[in-house]
Each structure stands twice: as structure tokens, then as C-alpha cells.
Amino acid sequence: MRIKSTEIVDTFAEAFEMWGTRMIITADAPEWADAAARSLTGFATSVIGCKCEAGVERVLSPDETPDGRPGASVLLFAFDPDGVANRLVERIGQCVMTCPTTACFNGLEAKKNVVVGGKLRYFGDGYQIGKRLDGTRFWRIPVMDGEFVVTDRFGVQAAVGGGNILISGASSAACLSAAKAATAAMREVPGVILPFPGGVVRSGSKVGSKYKELPASSNQAYCPTLRGFVPQTNVAKGVGCVLEIVIDGLDLKAVEEAMQRGLHAAVKPGIKQISAGNYGGDLGKYHIGLHGLVGGKVA
């Protein structure tokens, strides 16, 4: 199958089950909400080494936030609810509560929830105050510019991680141009994040390594410099660069829609092939076929 001059490989992205949550960070000015969101989502590209994956979903206007201030919506994913809860307490405590003028609210209505503000409140050393509004409990924690307001509990739900596309181009410039177009299109979809720097991955990985202490290593089948040196390569003729885009979402439909939009946006001059990463179907529950996406099939 081809779109213009780009081959769409008949393969699938192997996505897997995760748990996700949404935070609403607000502040007196957009730059402080942005500063807190950027700090919170730092070192959160992959559960392999970061314990979670997180990113800014979108910027929020004052009429979209609980306290009528500028804000940002942030998504965070981990393998289980306890993992989500631990990362929320750590990152909100260290990256949002520390940032001038900020507050942090639950942004996800879900059947399951985890305690966050109820743990952070102890930083108030006995001077914290609980407040219940419209059935939701909040904590007011004294800080040096006033008080930090945080929701007691945050919703968590089953989610999807590891959706992906692989863009193979004749050059680095062609690949980067296509990847930028794809990430811009993907970010228009609500409920997804692209956790890697700028949304793009150059160090694509595979499960396992020749070194037994490593859980993952370079996916040499997609490394252009190893073409001709490895037993099997997936680097097509004329390809000098391969870049990956990884998508996490609050549900399968959002991940598939983001992949679909990104795939079409990545069809640019110099792009030889668009593929996806999988492990033979043994790792992840969700198999998202590229040809189905091209044909308009979304869950």
C-alpha cells in the first residue's frame, strides 16, 4: 500500500495496558503554569527508566480551569494505579507545590481514585486546612507566597501505552520535517501525549539485550549504520534516517486516531516508508494495524 510515493508497511503497532490520570495545573500567569507542567513532565519519557510517562496534553484558558486562572492539562501513565499514585505525590510535591502561585486539581472523573493531596497535606506540618466543595475534598497547604491548593484524590483509569509509528526517510532533514508534521497533527487529539523529547524518538528500543542486566537495548534492525552488519535489517533501500513517534492515551480510540492523523501527516517528500514497532504480538494486548488506519478504521 502506498500514499503518494510513501510505502505503508503491512504491520501493526503493539501497544500495551497502562493506567493513566490527568492533572490540571493552574497559576496566576501562564508562564508559571507552564513552568510547573514542564518540571513535572521532565524525565518521564519511558517507564523503562523513568517509572512513568508524562506530557502536557494542552494549554488551558482561564474559562477551562477550576479556579478561573490560566493552566495546563497534564497526563501521566504508569503500569498500575499504585505506580500512578506514587509518581503523582512525588512530582506534584516537588514540581508543582514548589512553583510560585500554582494549584493542582484532579482532571479525570473515574471510578477508581488514588490519594494525592491527602498525602501532600502533611507538608503543612499541622497548619494545613481541609475544604470540601461540591462533594470534592481539597487541601490548603501553607507556603511562602500564600497557600497551595490540591485535590485530595485523583482519578485513574485503565489506559493504553506504546502506540507508535516509524518514519523512514532518505535523510535526517526529510525525516525531521515529517516527524514535526506528524507530532503537530497528533497533538490535536484529546487524551493523548507524546512523551519523548519533542514527541520524537531516535533511540528506538527492543526488549532485552545481550547484556543480561539490561531490560532494553537499541533496535538494531532500524539503525541505518548497521545495515549490512546485522542478520536482519528493516531499513529500506535509500533510507538514511528512521525516527519513531510513541503515543500514550487514556483509551484505545484516542491512540488510534492520533496514529492515523500522524501517519497521513508524515507522508512528505523524501519519506520512503512508514512502519510500526511490534514484538510479534507477544508483549502488548493491542495490535493497531497501519493498513486499517489508512482505510479509516478506528476503534
Percentage of the chain beyond pLDDT 70 is 99
Phi, psi values for residue 78, rounded to 5°: -145, 180
How sure is the predictor about 162, in pLDDT bands with cuts at 50, 70 and 90?
very high
pLDDT digits (tens, 9 = 90+) for 202-226: 999 988 999 999 999 999 999 999 9
Dump pLDDT digits (tens) for 52-61: 999 999 999 9
Domain 2-15+159-294 and domain 18-157 have a common topology: yes
Backbone angles phi and psi of 230, in degrees to 5:
-105, 155
What pLDDT shows up at residue 287?
96
What are the residue ranges spanned by the domains of the chain? 2-15+159-294, 18-157
The alpha carbon dihedral of 274, 276, 277, 278 has a sign of: negative
pLDDT digits (tens, 9 = 90+) for 278-296: 988 878 899 999 999 998 8
pLDDT of 30 above 90 = yes
- pLDDT for position 283: 80
Rounded-to-5 percentages of helix, strand, coil across the chain:
30, 35, 35
Give the model's confidence band at 298: pLDDT under 50 very low, under 70 low, under 90 confident, else very high. Answer: confident
Question: The C-alpha cell of 226 is what?
Answer: 548497521
8 Å CB contact between 233 and 273: no
CATH (residue range 2-15+159-294): 3.30.70.520
Looking at the domain covering 18-157, what would its CATH class be? alpha beta
Specify the pLDDT at position 295. Answer: 84
Q: Is residue 240 over pLDDT 80?
A: yes
Tell me the average pLDDT across 80-87: 98
Pairing relationship of beta strands 12-26 and 103-106 according to DSSP bridges: antiparallel
User: To 10 degrees, the CA torsion angle through 259, 264, 267, 272?
Assistant: 50
pLDDT at 299: 63
